[in-house]
Chains A and B, each alone.
Chain A
Amino acid sequence: MRKLAMRQSIRIQWRAFLLSGFVAASALLPLAGTARAATLEVSVVHPIASRKVAVSAAFGTVETSDHAALVAPFDGVVKSVSVRSGHAVGAGRVLLQIQPLTLASQTRAAAAAVAAAKADLVQKKILAEQRLATAAALETARAHLAARVAALAALQAQLRLGIVRAPFAGTVRDVAAVGTRVLQGQQLLHIDGNGALRIEAAFPMAAVRGLRAGTAMAIVADGDSGPGQVYSVARATDRYGLVLVYLTPPPTLRLMPGEVVQVRLDAAAEGAWRVPQAAVVLRGTTARVFIHQGGRARALTVKLLAVDADGAVVLGDLRPNSRVIVSDVAWLRDGTPVTLKPAEPKS
Chain B
Amino acid sequence: MKRYLSALWRNRATLLLVVTFVLVAGALAFRQLPRSVFPDVTFPRVAVMATWGYAPPKLVLLQLTQPLERAAKSVPGVRLVRSQTGNGLSKLHVYFSPGVSASQSYVLLQAQLASVSLPAGAHLTVQPMRPNVFPFAEYALVSNTIDSSAMQPLFDFKARPALLNVPGVFTVDGIGRGPAQVDVRLNPVSLAQMHLTAESVAQALRARQGPYFSGRIDAFHQQFLLNTQGRPQTLAELRELPIPLTANETRTPHTVPLSALGEVSEQAPPEIRGAAVADWKHALLIDIAPQADVDVTSVSVQVHTAVTQLRASLPSGVQLIKIYDFSNLVQSSLSDVWIALLLGTVITLLVVVLFLRRFDLALATLVVVPLSLAAALLVLKAAGLGLNIMTLGGLTAAIGALVDHAIVVIEHAIATDPTRPLAERRAAALRACADILPVMTFATLTSALLFLPLVFLSGTLGILFRQMAIALVVALVISQVVALTVTPMLALWLVGRAGSRSKAPRFARRLRVAYDQLLRRALSRPTLALPVALAIAVFAGIALFSLPTAWLPAWDEGAIAVPFRTPLGSSAADTIAVGRRMLQVAAQNPAVQSASVRAGQSLENPRADPNKGDLVILLKSHRAPVTTVIEQLRSSFQQAIPDLAMLKLHQVLVNELGNLSGSHAPLEVELFGKSSSLLALWGERAAAALKQTQTFSEVTLKGGSTGPAFEVLPRPRAALDGITPVNIAHQLEEAYWGRIVGFMLRGEQILPLSVSVRTDSAAQNPQTFAQHLWIQDQAGRPLPLASVARVRFDESVPYTDHQNLVPYTYIQLTPKPGLGLNQAAGAARHTLAALRLPSEVTWQIGGYYRQQTKSFTQMGVILGGALVLLLAAVGLQLGSQRKAIAVLLGTAISAAGAAWALRLLGIPLDSTAFLGMLLVFAIVVNNGILIFGMARLRPAGSSQRLAMKLACRARARPILMTMAADVLGFLPLAYGIGHGTDLLKPLAVAVMGGLCLAILASLLLMPMLFLLLRPGEEQPVREV
Contact = CB atoms under 8 A, between A and B. Distances in A.
Contact of B632 (A35, A240, A332): A35
Interface in A168-210: 174-178, 180, 204, 206-207
Interface stretch (A4-12, A158-166, A244-252, A259-267): A259-267
A331 B569 contact: no
B767 A304 contact: yes
Given A85-B250, A262-B189, A309-B761, A36 B766 contact: no
Contact of B771 (A81, A174, A180, A204): A204
B793 to A, nearest CB: 6
Contacts of B567: 283, 330-331
A87 to B, nearest CB: 11
24 contacts: A39-B639, A40-B639, A40-B640, A54-B762, A57-B760, A57-B772, A58-B782, A59-B188, A85-B250, A85-B251, A174-B249, A177-B248, A204-B787, A240-B787, A242-B787, A282-B766, A283-B567, A284-B708, A303-B767, A309-B761, A328-B581, A331-B567, A331-B642, A331-B643
Nearest to B574: A330
Interface in A41-88: 54, 56-59, 81, 84-86
B635 A240 contact: no
A162 B320 CA distance: 75
B679 to A, nearest CB: 21
B641 A287 contact: no
Given A34-B590, A204-B787, A28 B624 contact: yes
B463 to A, nearest CB: 36
Contacts of B189: 59, 260-262
A178 B788 contact: no
A55 to B, nearest CB: 8
Contacts of A242: 783-784, 787
Nearest to A29: B624
B636 interface: yes
B355 to A, nearest CB: 21
A333 interface: yes
A109 to B, nearest CB: 33
A115 to B, nearest CB: 40
Contacts of A178: 250
Contacts of A307: 761-762, 764-765
A301 to B, nearest CB: 13
B247 A177 contact: yes
A31 B771 contact: no
Interface in B627-664: 628, 632, 635-636, 639-644
Contact of B623 (A31, A282, A312): A31
Nearest to B573: A330
A309 B644 CA distance: 29
A239 B251 contact: no
A345 interface: no
Contacts of A35: 632, 635-636, 639
Nearest to A30: B590
A321 interface: no
A242 B642 CA distance: 47
Interface residues of A, number: 53
A285 B708 contact: yes
Contacts of A59: 188-189, 192, 774, 782
Which one of B591, B772, B788 has the highest number of Cβ atoms from chain A below 10 Å of its Cβ? B772
A333 B498 CA distance: 84
Contacts of A241: 787
B248 A31 contact: no
Contacts of A262: 189
B793 A285 contact: yes
Contacts of A39: 639
Contact of B581 (A54, A207, A331): A331
Given A34-B589, A285-B793, A331-B641, A304 B765 contact: yes
Nearest to B784: A204
Nearest to B190: A260
B699 interface: no
A84 to B, nearest CB: 6
A306 interface: yes
Nearest to A59: B782
Given A57-B772, A178-B250, A204-B786, A239 B643 contact: no
B795 interface: yes
B216 interface: no
Given A330-B574, A331-B641, A333-B642, 19 more contacts: A58-B774, A58-B782, A59-B192, A85-B250, A174-B195, A177-B250, A180-B248, A206-B771, A240-B717, A241-B787, A242-B783, A242-B787, A284-B569, A284-B708, A304-B765, A306-B762, A309-B761, A312-B765, A336-B642
A1 interface: no
A224 interface: no
B185 to A, nearest CB: 15
B834 interface: no
B641 A32 contact: no
B566 A331 contact: yes
B186 to A, nearest CB: 13
Contact of A308 (B247, B249, B762, B766): B762
A176 B249 CA distance: 6
Interface of B: 188-189, 192-193, 195, 247-252, 566-567, 569-570, 574, 577-578, 581, 588-591, 623-624, 628, 632, 635-636, 639-644, 708, 717, 720, 760-762, 764-768, 771-772, 774, 782-784, 786-788, 793, 795
Interface of A: 28, 31-32, 34-36, 39-40, 54, 56-59, 81, 84-86, 174-178, 180, 204, 206-207, 239-242, 258-262, 282-285, 287, 303-304, 306-309, 312, 328, 330-333, 336
Nearest to B769: A307
Given A35-B636, A309-B761, A330-B578, A239 B771 contact: no
Given A204-B786, A240-B783, A260 B760 contact: no
B279 to A, nearest CB: 19
Contacts of A309: 761
Q: Which 9 A-B pairs have the closest CB atoms?
A: A240-B787, A307-B765, A331-B641, A260-B193, A260-B192, A333-B642, A336-B642, A177-B250, A331-B643
A180 B581 contact: no
Nearest to B623: A31
Contacts of A54: 762
Given A40-B639, A180-B248, A330-B578, A239 B720 contact: yes
B248 A240 contact: no
Contacts of A328: 581
A259 B566 CA distance: 46
Given A240-B783, A284-B708, A331-B644, A31 B590 contact: yes
B636 A283 contact: no
Contacts of B787: 204, 240-242
A282 to B, nearest CB: 6
A336 B640 CA distance: 10
Contacts of B250: 81, 84-85, 175-178
B590 A56 contact: no
A44 B717 CA distance: 48
Nearest to B765: A307
A36 to B, nearest CB: 6
A304 B771 CA distance: 14
A180 B250 CA distance: 11
Contacts of B795: 284
A262 B784 CA distance: 13
A285 B766 contact: yes
A176 B251 CA distance: 10
A40 B642 contact: yes
Contact of B642 (A31, A239, A332): A332
Contacts of B192: 59, 260
A330 B577 contact: yes
Contacts of A285: 708, 766-767, 793
A233 B708 CA distance: 39
Contacts of B195: 174
A328 B768 CA distance: 25
A294 to B, nearest CB: 16
